[in-house]
Amino acid sequence: MGNFIRGLDILLELILLTALLYSFLKAFKLTLFDLGLHPKYKRFVRISLFIIGGMVLSFLIAHLITFYPNRLLWITKG
């Protein structure tokens, strides 16, 4: 049961952090094009932001799986 709750907590936190990351990267992309970046660079910017987002997301997944506390151990230790 503790591992199920841990997995659910990790999934919920990943969803929240992914939504935050997506909104940040989307705002960055819109800001670049509002400041005058030519539309011919749109593909490069999209691929670059996709790679950056994937790297950050993989870091978050690894971090949460490795360092998230196991609730079952907290309950038994008291």
Which range in 19-23, 37-41, 65-69 is most confidently predicted, on average pLDDT?
A: 19-23
How high is the pLDDT of residue 19? 92
Higher pLDDT, 61 or 55: 55
User: 21 or 4: whose pLDDT is higher?
Assistant: 21
Query: CA dist 40 to 10, 33, 44, Å?
Result: 39, 11, 8
Q: What is the pLDDT of residue 57?
A: 87
Specify the pTM.
Answer: 0.67
Distance between CA atoms of 49 and 72, rounded to whole angstroms?
38
Say which residue the tokens 């593909």 belong to. 43
